[in-house]
Amino acid sequence: MESGDVEVRFVSELKGRGVFANRPFKAGDVLFEEEPVVCCQFSWNAAYNYAACDYCMRPLETTEDNVRRLSGRKSLVLPYPECCPTDRSRHVQCPHCGVRYCSAACRDAAWGQFHRTLCLGSPDCQSHPLQRLDEAWRQMHYPPETASVMLIARMIATVRQAGDPEAAIASFMQFCHRSSSEEQQLVHKLLGEQFAGQVDVLRQLASEALCADCVRQWLTPEGFVSLLALVGTNAQGVGTSPLSAWVSRVSALPLGPGERARVDAFVDELYEAMQAEAGQFLNSEGAGLYSLQSRCNHSCQPNAEVTFPHSSSRLVLVATRDILPGEEVCVSYLDECALARSRHSRHRLLRENYLFVCTCSKCAAEASEPDETSEESGDGEDEDSLEED
């Protein structure tokens, strides 16, 4: 699991394992890159026509088509078309169900890992248990999405297709697990108030579609809750965009000052138009499980961040400040807005979504600050009640 530049070590009983630097890193340096063990586009994201490769999540739209759709400007012409990252000449489909891929390599990799089990056999097979499972999930988990039951389907299919199913199960069991009560709490958070009945519906549909002796343990009531909790606490969000890749390539062009200013103004206006038309969700979005990244613990003062510069599910962890040899590499599980909130609010979000109380240096330094009011935090709980659970 080590990349050479970093390694996984035991931290404490409370935090488990973490990732540590083996050499010095400067701000902006890449600590490591890795492919997901498995990844999946969000169900609602796909339903809203965000086209992505069914294996690596690379966008399948050209930049111009993507911008036209998201801005509502059907006749928009994008300059510098040579900077578009999408090569439609390489796109292929599953010959059986029509699922789309960015390349034959991705199609073959998907078929070998999970798609042979998940293939519906026909593009119009709406009554298949997997289709009903996907639809049931969408009705239980509205946008913004943070997980997908279809990621669990791919995990199960990966085990079923593995030459050594026990080893495949062990590869997924490396991810962080919680106690039964914590798992139930997390599933409640994922699915809503009537989570018990919802989970059973999902489990029955998954069993109907995917049951086999090698995965039977995952399709029991306890096992299925454990899978939902595993995905909820370990899945990393993935976002890909042909526009982001186009902007990055245009930024690297040797343009004169006047042309650079015009392009920058054009891009700014374009993003404003898309946000006005489509809202803030502009990317092809999904989630993946990453062996090394999942070992990175949270800090409210992180020294690294996850990026996806290849416009695919390949993850790149980048240092946000200088890191010394032997120093733990930490990321933030919260977005920038949440990080800027009070210690009380950060603790509430982490407790609800990740089932732990943060003890990082920032939280320790703010320990004497008064709790915020219920108006800011959104509930009447106080900080002490969270830490004593």
DSSP secondary structure code for residue 110 in this structure: H
pLDDT(374) > 70: no
Q: pLDDT-derived band of residue 74, with 50, 70 and 90 as boundaries?
A: very high
pLDDT at 386: 35
Provide the 3-class DSSP secondary structure of residue 192. Answer: coil
In terms of Cβ atoms closer than 10 Å to its own Cβ (0-12, 13-18, 19+), residue 258 is exposed
pLDDT at 193: 56
Nearest to 133 by CA among 114, 115, 159, 154: 154
Provide the phi-psi class of 32: left if phi over 0, else alpha when psi is between -120 and 50, else beta: beta
Lowest mean pLDDT among 3-7, 223-227, 372-376: 372-376
Distance in angstroms between the alpha carbons of the first and the last residue of the chain: 33
Mean pLDDT computed over 61-78: 95
Tell me the per-residue pLDDT of 135-155, one tens digit each, with 9 for 90 and over: 999 988 888 888 899 999 999
Q: List the beta bridge partners of residue 286.
A: 41, 238
Provide the 3-class DSSP secondary structure of residue 223. Answer: helix
Encoding tokens for residue 346?
């950060």
Nearest to 363 by CA among 314, 297, 312: 297
Check residues 33 and 199 and name the one with the higher pLDDT: 33
- Residues recorded for the chain: 389
Mean pLDDT computed over 338-367: 87
Q: pLDDT-derived band of residue 387, with 50, 70 and 90 as boundaries?
A: very low
pLDDT at 85: 95
pLDDT at 144: 80
Provide the whole-model pTM.
0.87
What's the CA gap between 211 and 161, in Å, rounded? 13
**Residue written as tokens 């009903």?**
132
**Residue written as tokens 């050499």?**
23
Provide the 3-class DSSP secondary structure of residue 175. Answer: coil
pLDDT at 191: 66
Mean pLDDT computed over 229-258: 94
Check residues 245 and 351 and name the one with the higher pLDDT: 245
Whole-number mean pLDDT of the chain? 89
pLDDT(184) > 70: no
Mean pLDDT computed over 68-76: 95
Q: pLDDT-derived band of residue 179, with 50, 70 and 90 as boundaries?
A: low
Who's near 67: CB < 8 A, 6+ residues apart?
A: 73, 76, 78, 243, 270, 274
pLDDT(101) > 90: yes
Tell me the per-residue pLDDT of 43-60, one tens digit each, with 9 for 90 and over: 999 999 999 999 999 999
Encoding tokens for residue 244?
């982001």
Distances (CA, A) of 88 to 34, 60, 85, 97, 102: 25, 7, 10, 19, 8
Distances (CA, A) of 303 to 65, 198, 312, 318: 37, 38, 23, 9
pLDDT at 12: 81
Query: Where do the DSSP E strands lie in the chain?
Result: 6-12, 16-21, 30-34, 38-41, 92-93, 100-101, 236-240, 284-289, 297-298, 304-307, 315-319, 328-331
pLDDT at 372: 60
Largest Cα span, the chain: 66
